[in-house]
Structure formats: structure tokens, C-alpha cells
Amino acid sequence: MRIGYSFWGFLTDGVLDTPDGGRSYRRPVIDALQQAGSHVVLVQANRDLIEAGVDLTGAYTFDDGLPGLDAIIYEWRWPLPARNTTVCGSPGHTCDLHRQQQLIDHFTHTRRLPTIIWDQDRRLPADDPLRLCPNVRVADYALRPGPGAITVNCPVPDGLLDTADPHQLARLPRPLPLVYVGNQYDRDDAFDHYFAPAAARATHRVAGKWTKTGAWPDIHFTGRVGFAEVAALHSQALATVLLLPERYRTVGHQTSRLFESITQGCLPLTPADIFGAEVFTPPQLHVRDAADVIDKITWIQRIAGTAEHAALIRACLDLLDPYRTSRQAAVLLAALRDLAGAGPSLITRSC
């Protein structure tokens, strides 16, 4: 298949001032789709070239027109006031939403191509008519996905899993007991309950875009870091806490923070009330409040560098195996083939 792939972000490290978490796995997903025999056409702006000055045109196909395709995948974009809802060309405007609509109108509605909407941020409304289109499958990360959706988990690059050595990771010097790398978006309640009180008693660092921090004057917020620094920060820390917005917590939707920490040996303390917590991390790492977080950090400090520490990292790595990029790419391809096999129904039925 010749598959269009719509995303607003980067395949490389990109630029600092962007919330694009997809850099952790997007390029491996596209590579896996192509290794499986498909040809992927990237149909949004080439931001790697335009903004980061990295030319990938020799390795990937970019097309900002309406190329010939057999199917299309959207990393779903949603309205962001004063950014992608403004007039094209106005200050601060990004054209991801307008371009996505153009692609939907042409490929999904008019040509009725097999379409996957990968709702990676759970922003597609439950009653959106696209969910009813016979040529569309909605996918999200959640163990308990949205209406009519399938689960395509946040992909873990195979190479990261294959090269992570728990014994080497356990032996690394880790001067930072507690870290969080990620943006504030809708995480205040979880941060207030699990992280902030524990951070008051442990050396810590919070890296990312946190714009409203007045409630936590003693927390060490250090602002955004370059994408390449994410792994370095996790490799220096003993533990992090998986802080999830409510819309993620209740359905078992994990982000790249899970594998970004584990593959660097930074143990992810996991709120026990996350749906499916036992699927993501061993029960020894589950916490119910900040006191539990402190207790776990104290325990990890005590076992740091030992065989017990390495075994705990190994257990976390093993739980990541089902989320390998190669497996998630296979789910995407199977869904597209199922839609393509529906043939006549895609022509006779409308959205």
C-alpha cells in the first residue's frame, strides 16, 4: 500500500519550543510500516527541514499536495485557539488543522480511502461523525479505548528495548533521586497529590513547559529541555512518577514517558488508581500517595546498583515488550487491510 501519514511534528530532534512527544517513536513507526512493504508519503509540512534545517528528503517522501494514495493515517490534530484556528499567514498561525481538514475532505470523504485516525491525545469527541464512517477506524493508546476505537498503544522503539541492559543501567551513577520530564497539560492534580509533597523531601528536577507553578514555590522547575536531553535526564535519576491527566488515568492511556524512563533505568512509580496499572509496571512500583513515593525512593536508593535493582529494571522492560513499535505498526496495517477488504461498502455507504 501507498500510505499517507499526517503528523505535525518532527522525525528528528526538531526544535526546543515544541510539545511534540511523538519524536520518541514516530520515525520508527514510519520505518516499520515501510519495512513491512508499504510506501509512506508524509503529507504535512516538512518541519524537520523548514524549522530544524535537517533534510530528510533523500530518506522519506514528503508531499504537500494531494498525491496518489491507497490509505491514510492521521495523528489527530484538534483546534488550538490562537494557533491553528487563525487565518493562514497570520502571526503565530500553524496550518496543521487546515491541512488535516483538506486531507480528510479529499482522501477520507471524497475518495473514501481506508483511514485511521490515531487519536494519541484523546481529543476526538465521542460523538464525532468520523467515528461512524465505514472507511474509518479510530485508534487510541488506551487499554479501554473510546467508542468504536481500537487500541494501538504508544509504540516503544524496538531498538531501545533490544539494547537496554538492566545490569548496566542499574550500575549507572544516579545523583538525582526524583525527576519528571514532561509538560504541565492537565497534570496539576496528579502532581499535587504524588509529586510535589515527595519532591519537598528529595532532590529533584522538573523539566518541561510548566507555566502555572505558583502553588509549588519550592519545586525545582527548569523549563523545557532539548529532545536529546530527555534520555540523559532519565539516565541520571533513580525514579519518576507517571503523572497522567484524568482522561488518560481512567482508561489506561500511557504516554512515551513510560518507556522513555524505563529504557534509561529510571523506575516509573505508578499511581495505583491508573486503570491497568499492573499491565504497565510491577506492583512493587505502585503508589497511592506522596508518602508511598518517598518510601519507594528510599527503598530504591537502598538497593541501587544491586542485583535486586537490575531485576526490577528487567521486570519493567519485560512489561514493555507488547508495545514494541513493530507490533503496533502491524496493528495499524491490519486495520487498513481490513478496511480495504470491505471494498464495496466503502463506496455505497457515506459518513
| pLDDT tens, residue by residue, 177-233 | 999 999 999 999 999 999 999 999 999 999 999 999 999 999 999 999 888 899 999
pLDDT tens-digit readout, 38-79: 999 999 999 999 999 999 999 999 999 999 999 999 999 999
Degrees, nearest 5: CA angle 46-24-235: 140
The number of beta carbons lying within 10 Å of the beta carbon of residue 195 is 23
pLDDT digits (tens, 9 = 90+) for 112-151: 999 999 999 999 999 999 999 999 999 999 999 999 999 9
Q: At a CB cut-off of 8 Å and minimum separation 6, what does 271 contact?
A: 190, 194, 241, 242, 244, 249, 277, 286, 287, 288
Q: Do residues 148 and 17 make contact, with C-beta atoms less than 8 angstroms apart?
A: no
According to DSSP, residue 153 is labeled P
Q: How far apart are CA 71 and CA 10, in angstroms?
A: 21
**How far is the C-alpha of 258 from the C-alpha of 348, rounded, in Å?**
43
Q: Quick check: 261 pLDDT over 80?
A: yes
pLDDT of residue 245: 96
Q: CA-CA distances (angstroms) from residue 254 to 145, 154, 156?
A: 12, 7, 11
pLDDT average, residue stretch 25-46: 97
Distance CA 101, CA 256 (A): 27
And the C-alpha cell for 313?
Answer: 529494571
